Amino acid sequence: MQSFATTFTSPDSSAPYIGRFAPSPTGALHFGSLVAAVGSYLDARTHGGRWLLRIEDVDAPRSVPGAAEGIIATLARFGFEWDGEIVRQSRRSAAYEAALDTLKAAGHAYPCVCTRRELVGQPLARDGSRRYPGTCRGGLAPRREGRAWRVRADGVIHFDDAVQGPQEIDLAADAGDYVVRRADGLFAYQLAVVVDDAEAGVTHVVRGADLLDSTARQIHLLGLLGAPVPAYAHLPLATNAAGEKLSKQTLARAIDEHPPQAALLAALRFLGQNPPGTLAGAPLAELWRWAQAHWSIAAVPHCRQAVADGSF
Ligand code: GLU
> How remote is the CA of residue 198 from the centroid of ligand 1, in Å?
15
**Whole-number mean pLDDT of the chain?**
93
> How remote is the CA of residue 277 from the centroid of ligand 1, in Å?
30
The predicted model gives 93-116 an average pLDDT of 96
Q: What is the pLDDT of residues 177-219, one digit of tens each?
A: 999 999 999 999 999 999 999 999 999 999 999 999 999 999 9
E strand or H helix at 19, and its extent?
Answer: strand 18-21
Instruction: Say which CATH architecture domain 14-90+200-218+226-307 belongs to.
Output: 3-Layer(aba) Sandwich (3.40)
Distance CA 58, CA 60 (A): 6
Q: What is the pLDDT of residues 211-246, one digit of tens each?
A: 999 999 999 999 999 999 999 999 999 999 999 988
pTM for this structure? Answer: 0.94
With a Cβ cut-off of 6 Å, ligand 1 is lined by 22-24, 56, 193, 207, 211
- Among 211, 213, 219, 235, the mutation site with the greatest number of ligand 1 atoms within 8 A of its Cβ is 211
pLDDT above 90 (res 64): yes
- Among 20, 54, 56, the mutation site with the greatest number of ligand 1 atoms within 8 A of its Cβ is 56
Other beta carbons within 10 Å of 85: 9
Q: Give the distance, in angstroms, between the CA of residue 218 and the centroid of all CA atoms in the same chain.
A: 10
The predicted model gives 17-27 an average pLDDT of 97
As to burial, measured by CB atoms within 10 angstroms (0-12 exposed, 13-18 middle, 19+ buried), residue 182 is middle
Please tell me the total number of residues recorded for the chain in this structure: 312
Please, which residues have CB within 8 angstroms of residue 101's CB and are 6 or more apart in sequence?
Answer: none
| Beta pairing, strands 87-88 & 50-55 | parallel
Q: How confident is the model at residue 13 (pLDDT cuts 50, 70, 90)?
A: low
Which position has the higher pLDDT, 11 or 210?
Answer: 210
pLDDT above 90 covers a percentage of the chain that reads: 85
